[in-house]
Structure 1
């Protein structure tokens, strides 16, 4: 089951940690890719995550009008570790 993370800080930290498998980064078309969003796109490029620019309304639809801040990341489940490990 894939997760869909959204919001600039959550997506940036997931990309920085590199603990999950990433399928693609969704970015609102027309968003200015500077600052945090620019860093997110750069990080995605460095680790080979495809970047897809989609209409903001499509992001709204996929995330049920959540405050996504123009970015979402499709990724695998978080790799939890057992206490025994």
Structure 2
């Protein structure tokens, strides 16, 4: 798995977008005390459930792989002229 250019910024953007989707759908209410790890995992599982992304193979659901998967998801959704787009 090759790390993406601006992956940290993409993960941050994906987390914000995913949390917004979850809250608007009434599926979750995030608190300031929730860990980033828990938020990332929740957003990942929500997107898999919604069939917005393919699930990672069993045994490969590490935080690094989840972050990478979310970064790819948000990068594909960005407009071509966005600074973080491929």
Would you say same fold, with TM above 0.5?
A: no
With a CA cutoff of 8 Å and minimum separation of 6, indicate the structure with the bigger relative contact order: 1
Q: Which is richer in helix?
A: 2
TM-score, normalised to structure 2, is 0.35
